[in-house]
Amino acid sequence: MQRELSYESFKNFEKRQSQKVQHGSGVYMFMRTQMGEALNDCKMAIVKREHILKQAPGHLKGIAKKEKIFLLESDDEGDWRLESHSTNKTDNCVFVLWFPTYEVAKNWILYDKDFSKSNFPQQYGSEVFIVPVMKNPLDDRACPTFLMTEFPGVRDFKAFAERVEERFERAASRYDGHANVVFSDRNFHVRGKWVSPNNPIVIHRFKKPIDAFDFYKDNEVRLLRDSLMQSGICRGRPRSVIFSLDEFM
């Protein structure tokens, strides 16, 4: 069932999360839609009202198109649009936007002429969620790759963080990555079925997709992920995707 954005739910969420956003780090807004006309319609809408986005203030960090999206672990809950049943290649694209606070991001998505509509772009719509940023690499072109993992069924976030946070940092350093760019116990789910609002989201950033792949396949990381399920800290299989920004506007 699709969950729509409401002002009260956003205010309550923002109050709980405000202490987790370091000053100046802001929030990411992730927007998933389809390739083709949907992609073009979203780009056109952003270009036409770019001045409003900048005044928010906010900006588009970039777009990851289907050639730069790699599904590592996925299932029906993630609802990625696949090109065929025999491949894990998707026909989706991902827009990544940045805003200084939840309040600013909320106002933009609520009041933008097009993006406020759940059925925009027409026939496809978009799926949107927002997460706090712990640290933000300064150069998106030099560090365009995101490794995003949703961890289902985590009931004790403190135990989860104690188990993985420092180990992710150590492992990412081996691949010149920025670990735990997002490390949040929940996300603000605007609409769609991409992620569950109650699941932790962890995002690492890398210079190249191969670096993210190497981190994902790292023996320490693999054993750590397995231990989360074996210990019951994570009550479902993590769902991971790599996407790399390949268009900057």
In which residue ranges of the chain is pLDDT below 50? 1-7, 9-10, 13, 16-24, 77, 86
Instruction: Name the pTM for this structure.
Output: 0.88
Alpha carbon distance 146, 208 (integer Å) = 9
For residue 69, count other CB atoms closer than 10 A to its CB.
23
Confidence at residue 35, expressed as pLDDT on a 0 to 100 scale? 94
Alpha carbon distance 205, 211 (integer Å) = 9
Question: Which residue segments constitute the domains of the chain, with CATH numbers given?
Answer: 7-244 (3.30.70.100)
6's CB contacts (< 8 A; 6+ apart) are none
Confidence at residue 233, expressed as pLDDT on a 0 to 100 scale? 95
Confidence at residue 123, expressed as pLDDT on a 0 to 100 scale? 84
Confidence at residue 74, expressed as pLDDT on a 0 to 100 scale? 60
Alpha carbon distance 207, 237 (integer Å) = 26
Alpha carbon distance 4, 139 (integer Å) = 33
- In 3D space, the residue among 238, 132, 228, 234 whose CA is nearest the CA of residue 183 turns out to be 132
Confidence at residue 9, expressed as pLDDT on a 0 to 100 scale? 46
Confidence at residue 84, expressed as pLDDT on a 0 to 100 scale? 52
Confidence at residue 83, expressed as pLDDT on a 0 to 100 scale? 56
Note the pLDDT tens digit of each residue in 70-116: 998 765 545 676 655 545 678 999 999 999 999 999 999 999 999 99
Confidence at residue 63, expressed as pLDDT on a 0 to 100 scale? 98
Confidence at residue 73, expressed as pLDDT on a 0 to 100 scale? 75
